[in-house]
Amino acid sequence: MTAPTAAMQLTVLGSGTAIPVADRFPAGYLLAIGDRRLMVDCGPGTLRRLAQAGTSLRDLDAVLLTHYHTDHCADLGPLLFALRSPLFAGRGPLHVFGAPGLQRLVDTLTQAWPWLAPRGYELHLHEVLPGTFAIADATVTAVPIRHTAQSLGYRVAAANGASAAFSGDADECDELVELARGVDVFVCEAATPDGQKLDGHLTPSLTARFAARAGARQLVLTHFYPECEGHDLRAAAAAHFGGSIALAHDLLQLPVGARGR
Ligand SMILES: [Zn+2]
Ligand SMILES: [Zn+2]
C-alpha cells in the first residue's frame, strides 16, 4: 500500500441543494485524516455517495452538522438505522456534533421511528456552541454563520497541519473570514450565479471575496442550485480570488495540505 500523499483527503459527497437534480445530491463532505473519517453534513443521498467513495459506515467516526435544514441532515435517520445492523456490531462510538437543537431533533426522529435508537454501538450527541473542541486527531472550531439562527461553519485542523473550512449555507458575514483564515481548503457555498443572489446564500463573486480576505489557499465552490448550470462560476470567482478554485461535483476528491506545500 502506498503512503498517502496528503495529510487530509476531502471527498465531496453532495454538491447540490434541496432541489432534486440528477447528478448532485444535497450537502455532504467526507474528510479522511489518517484512518479517521469525519462527515460534514449528511444531506439525503450522501450515505450512498459515502459507499460509492469506498467508505464503510463501520469506519465513520463523527458527523458535524452545520444546521438543520433537511438538505444538510436528512440522512441522519437512515444513518442511525443502518448502524443497528449486525454488520457494524462492535464498531466504535459515533459522535454527532451540531448547534443546540440536535438532541431535540434526534429525540423527535426517534419518537417517529423508534427503531433509530442505538443498538450494538454507542451514539454520542454533542450540542456545541461557537468555540473549539477536539475530534480524534483534529481540532475543530465552530463559528457562527449568518443563515439560520444557529448555523455553524466548521474549521477542521488536523494534528499533521492540514486544515479545511466548511461554510455550510451562508450569507455575507465577517465570520466567514475568521472561519477560513489561512486555511488549506475553503469549501464555501455559492448557491446561485452572480446577479441572482438569494437571501441567506452567496454567489461566486461574494464567496471569492471572502476567500481572498481570509487568505485561503484553495477555494471549492459548492451547493449549486439549478440556476447555476450553464454559468461560468469559476470565472466569476477568479475575478476576486487568486488562489486555486475548484467547482464541486459529487465524488470530487481533493488532497488537502499535500506534502511539499
Ligand atoms: Zn442548503
Ligand atoms: Zn440552509
Q: pLDDT of 50-63, one tens digit each?
A: 999 999 999 999 99
CA of 92 to the centre of ligand 2 (A): 30
Q: How confident is the model at residue 47 (pLDDT cuts 50, 70, 90)?
A: very high
Contact predicate 124/153, CB 8 Å: no
Q: How confident is the model at residue 180 (pLDDT cuts 50, 70, 90)?
A: very high
CA of 149 to the centre of ligand 2 (A): 11
CA of 71 to the centre of ligand 1 (A): 5
Provide the strand spans (E) within 118-209: 123-127, 131-135, 138-144, 152-158, 163-166, 185-189
- The confidence score (pLDDT) of residue 8 equals 95
Give catalytic residue positions: 71
Q: What is the percentage of the chain residues whose pLDDT exceeds 90?
A: 94
Read off the pLDDT of residues 237-252 as tens digits, 9 standing for 90 and up.
999 999 999 999 999 9
In the predicted structure, residue 1 carries a pLDDT above the cut 50: no
CA of 67 to the centre of ligand 1 (A): 9
Contact predicate 154/141, CB 8 Å: yes
* Distance (Å, whole) CA 236 – CA 151: 26
Q: What is the percentage of the chain residues whose pLDDT exceeds 70?
A: 97
Q: Across the chain, what does the average pLDDT equal?
A: 95
Read off the pLDDT of residues 249-261 as tens digits, 9 standing for 90 and up.
999 999 998 654 4
CA of 35 to the centre of ligand 2 (A): 30
* Distance (Å, whole) CA 104 – CA 174: 30
Read off the pLDDT of residues 117-175 as tens digits, 9 standing for 90 and up.
999 999 999 999 999 999 978 999 999 999 999 999 999 999 989 999 999 999 999 99
Q: Which ligand is nearest to the CA of 41?
A: 1
Q: Which ligand is nearest to the CA of 68?
A: 2
In the predicted structure, residue 84 carries a pLDDT above the cut 80: yes
Q: Which ligand is nearest to the CA of 151?
A: 2
